[in-house]
Amino acid sequence: MQPIRLAVLVSGSGSNLQALLDARAADTLDADIVLVASDRADAYGLQRALQHSLPTACLPLPRPADPAKRPAARAAWEAQLAAIVAVFQPDIVLLSGFMRVLSDHFLDRFPKRVINQHPALLPDDSGDLYVTKAGITIPALRGAHTVSEAVRRGLPVTGCTIHYATSRVDDGPVLARAEVPILASDDEDSLHERIKTAERRLVVDVVNRLARS
């Protein structure tokens, strides 16, 4: 079977990217990582990619001093990012801790091919509630602070979701999720680390599933 071509977009540490790199090295990933791109030059994920001699690209989002110029600058940035990614002809574009919301201008270049990792449980229906396997109803947390929010709200359980991306934040058809219990001793860091442990397994599974479909 031909491995699929995977482009990975990161803004930070890239430990999920590392899980994919490790799986590829162990021959347990049916994908070639063809590009790692970031909006941040200091994203450690770029270093991880360079250590594997993979193509990398860094494209910071410009922020003009004049707020009126920002929408056009952002649109141009998305078009440039899409053009770079398209050069590598990915079958799947994985947003793996990529901290920018991409609009339809980007997503339409890669229809049904952009997937996102989110560190909370999202429902199938785009709604505001999620029912756990044990039948507990919890809020569907979206945005950049879901891990601290899960701790702050005293939820018994949270988790992670991988879903197709839409231009709405943390929304779109769900591919897979995993539940992670919240311990009384958890703070944001300890909980996020356990969520990421689940995410690293899930992302390898999902990429393999997409490769085989």
Q: Are 149 and 141 in contact (CB under 8 A)?
A: yes
68, HSE (Cβ side, Cα atoms, 13 Å) = 0
16 part of the interface to ligand GRF, by CB under 6 A: yes
Clarify whether 118 is annotated catalytic: yes
Cβ proximity to ligand GRF, 70 vs 139, nearer residue: 139
Q: Which stretch binds ligand GRF (CB under 6 A): 6-14, 28-36, 56-64, 171-179?
A: 6-14
Cβ proximity to ligand GRF, 150 vs 160, nearer residue: 160
4 alpha-carbon distance from chain centroid? 18
User: Angle at CA 44, nearest 5°, toward 160 and 5?
Assistant: 65
Site for ligand GRF (CB under 6 A): which residue of 3, 5, 13, 151? 13
The active-site residue, picked from 52, 105, 118, 192, is 118
Identify the helix (H) or strand (E) that includes residue 194. helix 188-212
Region label for 58, one of left (φ > 0), alpha (ψ between -120 and 50) or beta (otherwise): beta
Q: Are 37 and 110 in contact (CB under 8 A)?
A: no
Q: Please count the residues of this chain forming the interface with ligand GRF, following the rule CB under 6 A.
A: 15
Cβ proximity to ligand GRF, 180 vs 211, nearer residue: 180
Which residues contact ligand GRF (rule: CB under 6 A)?
10, 12-16, 96-97, 117-119, 160, 195-196, 199
The catalytic residues are: 118
